[in-house]
Structure 1
Amino acid sequence: VLMEHLLKRQYVDSEPDYRGWENTIDEQREQINLLLSESPSLKPYLESVFSDCYRYPLKKVSKNYPSVSFPQNCPFTSDILDQD
């Protein structure tokens, strides 16, 4: 969900939707960081599977926004959990 909403926010030109996507991004970051603080051993796992996790959100946003050109390779790194 985090990657999906980051993709929409960065690549879909739909200003009325920006605030909702940003709220979801903030909430997802908070939830993932909470989970990682409760189970720190998941952090290395997250980093090892991070780029593979991109396929699903890419498929979903590409289907929902066929006129938008999304990057085929993951433009994010695991530090997306720390960014504003």
Structure 2
Amino acid sequence: MAKVEIYTWRTCPFCVRAKSLLDSKGVSYTEYAIDGDSAARDAMAERSGGRRSVPEIFIDDQHIGGCDELHALNRAGDLDPLLSA
């Protein structure tokens, strides 16, 4: 199974939606809840090419993007192969 990491804010609806998709697929992931943590947000932005919005999702250290990108990968049939790598 792939290593999945997701940076979130606890009350972010897009974060909840992204985690819900991963949960529905039975995917284990590491969640970094960065609510109000500037240093953690800076680290996330550095990893994600400057993106500061949440969620930011990584699969096997590859930046996937946010909630919309995750769902687009799923609709295209490209998410499951990434997750099973």
Common topology (TM > 0.5): no
Higher relative strand content: 2
Larger radius of gyration: 1
